[in-house]
Amino acid sequence: MGTLKRFNIKQLADTHQVTHVIETGFGRGASSRYSIDCGMQVLSCEIYTPLYDAAPDWPALQLFNHDSLTFLGQQAVREVINSTRTLIFLDAHFPGADFQFEAYDSDNYDEETRLPLIGEMALLQDNAANALIIIDDTRVYLRNAYRALSTDLLGEPPADREQAFLLALGQFQKTHKIQFLQQDTGYAILWPRRWGEFALPKNILAGDLTQNFILQSEVPGTTCMSINRRLLDARFSLR
């Protein structure tokens, strides 16, 4: 399960005037809360009723008790996509499973409800030219992502699911630049071409083990003092 906390959307809002986040899986509200804290208005949905009933009442949140396809067809959602710069986080799959309410292979929902991403992309392909789209959990759709992320979630994606996902991505080529990130459970980023060069800053999160070490000079504090003290110590290299 990925999260919008992976991305610095406050900086995105400041530099690209993004005002709204549309999210297709509220869960317990972590990504919505983060978006609101970054100054965004949020529209989200939660199909799993116990999670929907437990959701907090935040003024900047509009929450719908719908499946994601019904949610994306709502007039309020379509108006936001058509009239503002929007971040769309496609995070809907396996209702209730990420929070141990249901099994990932539960037969309580049909296949389109459990894995609605291809339908979501079809709904968006003709009216999302001014929206940044972040797709979570590419391990569920791409075999390379599944292997790289070493997950046993439902096993390796079948070839037909991967093919359908790649074909759906291809429908966005004229309006978006596409990049893949391997952090967390894998992301596909669809960056609107009309926004110019790709500029979605990532955050370093607790537990990240593969980030490059960066030494930044002229930062006051103990680190800066320690480095200067050792540089001035002629015997330091001998110890």
Helix/strand/coil (H, E, C) string of 101-167? CCCCCCCCCCHHHHCCHHHHHHHHCCCCCCEEEEEECHHHCCHHHHHHHCCCCCCCCCHHHHHHHHH
Give CA–CA dist 78/40, Å, rounded: 17
pLDDT for res 134: 97
Q: Domain boundaries in the chain?
A: 4-205
Stretch 71-90: mean pLDDT: 96
- pLDDT interval class at 230 (50, 70, 90): low
Tokens of 233: 């110590």
Amino acid at 27: G
- CATH topology classification for 4-205: Rossmann fold (3.40.50)
Stretch 156-176: mean pLDDT: 93
Q: What is the mean pLDDT of the chain?
A: 84
Q: Is 236 helix (H, G, I), strand (E, B) or coil?
A: helix
* Burial class, 156, CB count within 10 angstroms (exposed 0-12 / middle 13-18 / buried 19+): middle
pLDDT for res 60: 98
Digit-coded pLDDT (tens) for 88-118: 999 867 655 565 555 556 676 666 767 899 9
Give CB contacts under 8 A, 24+ apart, made by 174-177. Answer: 175/128, 175/129, 176/129, 176/133
Digit-coded pLDDT (tens) for 5-40: 999 999 999 999 999 999 999 989 999 999 999 999
How many percent of the chain have pLDDT more than 70? 76
Q: Is the pLDDT assigned to residue 214 strictly greater than 50?
A: no
pLDDT for res 216: 46
Range scoring the smallest mean pLDDT among 98-107, 136-145, 186-195, 211-220: 211-220
Using only C-alpha atoms, what is the Rg of the chain?
A: 21
Nearest 10 degrees: CA dihedral of 100, 103, 109, 110?
140
